[in-house]
Amino acid sequence: MTQSQTERRIRELRTAIRHHNYLYHVKDRPEVSDSVYDRLFSELKELETQNPELVTADSPTQSVPGALLDQFSKIEHLAPMLSLDSDQSDEALRRFDTRVRQVLENVAYVVEPKLDGASVELVYEDGVLVRASTRGDGSVGEGITDNVRTIDAVPLRLMGRGASLPSPLSVRGEIIMRVDAFEQLNEQLMAQGKPPFANPRNAAAGALRQLDPLVTASRPLDIYVYDILSAPDLKIAKQWDALAAMAKWGLRVNDLPRRMESVDEVIEYHRDLQERRDDLEYEIDGVVVKLDDLASRDELGATSHHPKWAFAFKFPPRKEITRLLKIVPSVGRTGVVTPGGIMRPVELGGVTVSRANLHNREEVARKDIREGDLVRVQRAGDVIPQIVERVPEPGRRRAKPYQMPTRCPSCGTDLFQRGPFTVCPNQFGCPAQLAGRLEHFASKEALDIDGLGEETAKLFVAAGVVRSLPDLFDIESADLMRLEGFAAKSAESLVRAIERAAKVELHRFLYGLGIPEVGVTVAKDVSKHFGSVSRLRVATMEDLQVVAGVGPRMAEQVVAFFGDERNAQILDGLLDGKLNVMESSGSAGGVLAGTRWVFTGELKALSRREAKNLVESLGGRVTSSVSKATAYVVVGSEPGSKYDKAVDLGIATLTENEFVEFLRERGVTV
Ligand code: IVH
């Protein structure tokens, strides 16, 4: 390649990668597979390594972590980052609205969720991210540019150019950690014996204030931007248009904001979001009400603390103080015994709670929590409430420090210690574990037995219908009809579902066994490698670690699982004619390998889930939206807009019958 060809190719690659980054991280709607993306990325990386003079700060390769810092620099914001007046009562909101209407006529507000994360300023010059800083004291914050660069959802370069993209541009947003990522991070920290974060906000703020960007990069952060702080030449008159403009530049903007004209609508929106709060993937602690018209904001001005044109209408707190009555241990699916708190009932953000998680022995000791103590409890996302800390009561006599039991509270087996965790080794023989393991075995990613969820699994174990896992496959309708909640029809359909599940692919079976550390992806890779249960059962630590992604810890768990005599008996029981575990082909697999499928409309012979399982078992992928990468769209009766999109994009469509025929031609009978 000549120099100018290289430059052109680098430009093309950057544009393509940015486009895919945007679709993946901002729109949640990728168009190419990971491997296509990886190929583009490696090609760019390679060209940049060969031509270091062509590397620019906004190249997508530069979002990988930079060097370690000694300390954070101080950065002055392009415009002050104000804070908000806040209150949880309807009356306070109405007072705010009245004050606004005393000055202005025709009031309209933009109302947004109040995201509970860390506020940041991002500065773009000529579309390139040049600075990121924390809020600090509102005028000067700490420079966290290298850390923010590692966050996938923050574009290093904006879309658009010329007059449509102001420069410099300063935007404000909130860096957040999603609740599931937060829980996972805490589990990891605790497994390493480190203290967990109290809530997703602290976890996000902690991740941003790392001197080593590598640590930030390993924490799953996300962003929503909600304000243009400064953009000298930009002609935008409304907050609503500012949100739209930021989205157009490729910044991630939340989809919950609404424009409204009356205070009653704001109250309704607040109530609605409060109800939906636990269903959101991230934490919010209220709604922010902002005057839509930007010029009118100046008319209202500010107090010494906050602007008079905006108001944070908060939710009731999810942190309260109550008394811990008792600490009781319970046994989870994997045998880990966790101490739980029984508390005097207390209302947390609209829900009455009386139980809380105390995590493990070390956490109880670290927080020095004892029965009878006054404690501060908190709910974050949809997690079970946690006891954050003890509230000291000088002079009060306290109970003795809590001791974990030495025997399993469910089956009486001697417990053992694994790091900070106390574990019951009786696996499938322990009723508490059996119920959890049964539920997991039947779960969607495992045997996928419709109708066998948590409640039913507990019922089966409690009623003695399932004393050992293989009993599951001996259940008859008559057994179920004796149980509460079952009628002839529901019993029959569950028995059918169990029968259907008795033929299962190896990776689902393996995942269903619930071996610690073995998630869906690993189960697939391991199954592909070993091909059959019999080979897997005799695999050594070394054999297992040949599989990419399997480290010593995981290998040890797998070997320990299959080496356990009690597990061996269960497996023999399952494989002795009850369960037909299909061997994996070892190749990247299946007649549909590498193809993406979309289903729309109602199918007759198959349920949606059956169709999805079928395609996946043959190596294909099922996605929810049609893109250029879709191979086929299967169209049932009354199809939705996906059908039109397929026609638009010229993607092959199949009726349900054609789909069945398509598979038959390839040797698969449905
Ligand atoms: S607007 C003057 N909008 O809430 C305008 N803030 O003090 C100030 N926050 O620290 C900010 N979500 O970090 C705004 N949609 C949103 C927000 C939001 C969360 C945070 C912000 C600020 C605090 C209020």
How far is the centre of ligand 1, averaged over its atoms, from the C-alpha of 356 (Å)?
Answer: 30
Is 50 exceeded by the pLDDT of residue 586? no
Give the pLDDT band (50/70/90) at residue 587. Answer: very low
What is the reported pLDDT for 392? 93
Distance from C-alpha of 82 to C-alpha of 590, rounded to nearest angstrom:
57
Q: What is the distance in A from the centroid of ligand 1 to the CA of 287? A: 9
| pLDDT of amino acid 381 | 61
Q: Residue 645 catalytic?
A: no
> Which residue's alpha carbon is at the smallest distance from atom 13 of ligand 1?
119
pLDDT > 90 in the chain, percent: 63
pLDDT tens-digit series, residues 653-668 = 999 989 988 888 877 7
176 C-alpha to ligand 1 centroid (Å)? 13
Model pLDDT for residues 312-328, shown as the tens digit of each residue: 999 987 889 999 999 99
Nearest CA to ligand 1 atom 12: 114
Q: Are the C-beta atoms of 239 and 291 separated by less than 8 Å?
A: yes
Instruction: Write out pLDDT tens, residues 480-519.
Output: 999 999 999 999 999 999 999 999 999 999 999 999 889 8
Cα 84 to ligand 1 centroid, rounded to whole Å: 7
Ligand 1 atom with the shortest distance to the CA of 309: 2
Yes or no: say if 150 and 65 are a contact pair by the CB < 8 Å rule.
yes
Distance 174 CA to ligand 1 centre (A): 8
Q: Which residue has the higher pLDDT, 67 or 607?
A: 607
Residue 68 confidence class, pLDDT cut points 50, 70, 90:
low
What pLDDT, on a 0 to 100 scale, did the predictor assign at position 544? 92
pLDDT greater than 60 at residue 348: yes
Residue 112 burial (C-beta neighbours within 10 Å; 0-12, 13-18, 19+): buried
Output the pLDDT for position 494: 96
For the CA of 135, the nearest atom of ligand 1: 10
The protein residue whose alpha carbon is closest to atom 21 in ligand 1 is 119
Ligand 1 test: best mutation among 77, 82, 84, most atoms within 8 Å of CB?
Answer: 84
Pick from 462, 442, 463: nearest CA to 453: 442
Name the percent of the chain lying above pLDDT 70: 97
Q: What is the pLDDT of residue 599?
A: 92
C-alpha 288 – ligand 1 centre gap (Å) = 7
Query: What is the CB < 6 Å shell around ligand 1?
Result: 82-84, 112, 114-115, 119, 174, 226-227, 288, 307, 310, 312
Atom of ligand 1 nearest to the CA of 118: 13
Between 662 and 382, the more confident residue is 662
**Alpha-carbon Rg of the chain, whole angstroms?**
28
pTM of the model: 0.65
For residue 596, the cross-strand partners are 621
Q: Any idea which of 53-67, 108-122, 211-225, 634-648 has the lowest mean pLDDT?
A: 53-67
Q: For residue range 105-120, list pLDDT tens digits in order.
A: 999 999 999 999 999 9
Q: Whose CA is nearest to atom 2 of ligand 1?
A: 82
Atom nearest to 312 CA in ligand 1: 24
Ligand 1 atom closest to the Cα of residue 113 is 15
Give the tens place of pLDDT for each residue, 466-481: 999 999 999 999 999 9
**Closest atom of ligand 1 to CA, residue 116:** 19
Res 65: pLDDT: 66
Residue 353 contacts residue 379 (beta carbons within 8 Å) = yes
Separation of CA 114 and ligand 1 centre (Å): 6
* Choice among 258-267, 477-486, 641-650 with the minimum mean pLDDT: 641-650
CA of 348 to the centre of ligand 1 (A): 23
Atom 22 (ligand 1): residue with closest C-alpha?
83
Q: Please, what is the average pLDDT of the chain?
A: 90
In ligand 1, the atom with minimum distance to the C-alpha of 84 is 7
- Alpha carbon distance, N-terminus to C-terminus of the chain: 52
Site to probe by mutation for ligand 1, drawn from 226, 291, 303, 314 as the one with most ligand atoms within 8 Å of Cβ, is 226
- Residue carrying the six token digits 């800083």: 133
- Band of pLDDT at residue 22, cut at 50, 70 and 90: confident
pLDDT, mean of residues 135-144 = 92
How far apart (Å, rounded) are the C-alpha atoms in residues 85 and 204? 23
Going from the Cα of 133 to the center of ligand 1, the distance in angstroms, rounded, reads 15
Q: Whose CA is nearest to atom 16 of ligand 1?
A: 114
133-to-174, 402, 493, 517, 599 alpha-carbon distances in Å: 11, 44, 58, 37, 45
The catalytically annotated residue of 45, 74, 114, 604 is: 114
Handedness of CA 16, 21, 27, 33 (dihedral sign): positive
To test the pocket of ligand 1, the residue of 111, 115, 294 to mutate (highest count of ligand atoms within 8 Å of its CB) is 115
**Test site for ligand 1: of 227, 254, 289, 314, most ligand atoms within 8 A of the Cβ:** 227
Residue 331 pLDDT class (50, 70, 90 cuts)? very high
